[in-house]
Structure 1
């Protein structure tokens, strides 16, 4: 009985393997397949402002540096939070670090540190006015971008452009090669934001504290491009 059972099991395995081999061998060969891609681009006004404020301190010991940085940051945070409003002016801290300073003999002869505060949002006037009131930190970087709302608004338009171009290109290729139609095999959709021209630069030197205390910081946003790329393959038939 055991030998019979083994024979039946072996026979079943051989039949399954044969069926699988038969299916693999019978798989149709892919022919007349082309790869292509298309891009949709929509230009939009940047509506997100990001201001980085920072301060650097140094002293003979790390504890003193840390205390000075914390005091400066706490004062700036208190001022910024008074004007904070979700989406319009969001406030959060940036990098906070201490680093040893070495002498010519390779030994530590002091400490230095840096703390940052970030103001960002869509209300440019509120953000710049708040930055102008902060006395303990100075502006180190100004950059612009797109809010999620602005990006979502035009991303669909860019995607539609890319899809229509992809379809038109596929139909053109099929016709050019003497086929009447095509079938979509696979497709991938990717999107990204492109800022034309040079990237926002880091200020060469931090503005002196108090230089913006009587007025808001002048800023002007540019434009960005939301780009959607559609790529994939089609089989001409």
Structure 2
């Protein structure tokens, strides 16, 4: 919504009036000012695939349990490192006691450890995930916008948002009969970049259990990203 403020006053030059000139000068900064908003948007592909796998087990001996979990994780890490373009991150690892039916005595321990895989190469990561599901379980499959893609889209949207703001500023200036305008301030805000978009891992889990597991097809989709330009212009008369 635009706001047009214009003020006029008859000034009587006196000692008291001269004393108030600094305040009047400050008020003049808001003369013929209009608040405007313009937006630019585009569809951006979710081009990063994120898979979280985990191993979980229990044992009465916590040391043996930890060794078992570590061995399983190390094997998975070694296998994943052989695939180019896949980034590996170890997620959370937690261990907690198991109590008897009366909840008084510890009868064993349960431990869970996660492995996070990220890649822009969907087929390669899908194939690797299917292979790792022979020893690990899937927690989630997510899709996000890669950092490089996000920066490129922000740069393009910034130019579009500035152009849209200038067009709207000129339209408002013409409507008010101004000779031109100057930008007082301009701020940009971006929204629409998603948190990782979770997909069910059921399809891939079933594929991995088959005798000859095919590489599952995945479709990450897109997100509509918007950049808004909010600012104030001063119409010149």
Asked if 1 retains the 8 angstrom alpha-carbon contact of 2:143 and 2:197, the reply is no
Q: Which residue is 1:46 aligned to?
A: 46
CA distances 1:162-201 after superposition (whole Å, capped 9, x unpaired):
1111112222233334433221111122334445xx9424
1:216 counterpart SS class: coil
Q: Hey, what's the Cα distance between the residues in 1 that align with 2:163 and 2:188?
A: 13
**CA 38–224 in structure 1, closer or farther in 2 if over 3 Å, else same:** same
1:89 aligns with 2:93: no
Q: Which residue is 2:151 aligned to?
A: 152
TM-score, with normalisation over the residues of structure 2? 0.75
- Across the aligned residues of Structure 1 and Structure 2, the Cα RMSD in angstroms comes to 3.2
Aligned length: 213
Q: List alignment gaps of at least 5 residues for structure 1.
A: 1-20
Q: Hey, what's the Cα distance between the residues in 2 that align with 1:57 and 1:166?
A: 58
Q: Hey, what's the Cα distance between the residues in 2 that align with 1:65 and 1:235?
A: 70
**CA 72–179 in structure 1, closer or farther in 2 if over 3 Å, else same:** same
Q: Which residue is 1:3 aligned to?
A: none
Q: List alignment gaps of at least 5 residues for structure 2.
A: 1-18
Aligned pairs for 1:115-130 within 5 A: 115-130=113-128
Asked if 2 retains the 8 angstrom alpha-carbon contact of 1:60 and 1:111, the reply is yes
Q: Single out whichever of 170-179 and 115-124 deviates more from structure 2.
A: 170-179
TM-score, with normalisation over the residues of structure 1? 0.75
Q: Single out whichever of 47-56 and 93-102 deviates more from structure 2.
A: 93-102
Asked if 2 retains the 8 angstrom alpha-carbon contact of 1:140 and 1:205, the reply is no
Aligned pairs for 1:11-160 within 5 A: 24-25=22-23, 27-29=25-27, 30-83=30-83, 85=84, 88-103=85-100, 105-107=102-104, 108-134=106-132, 135-160=134-159
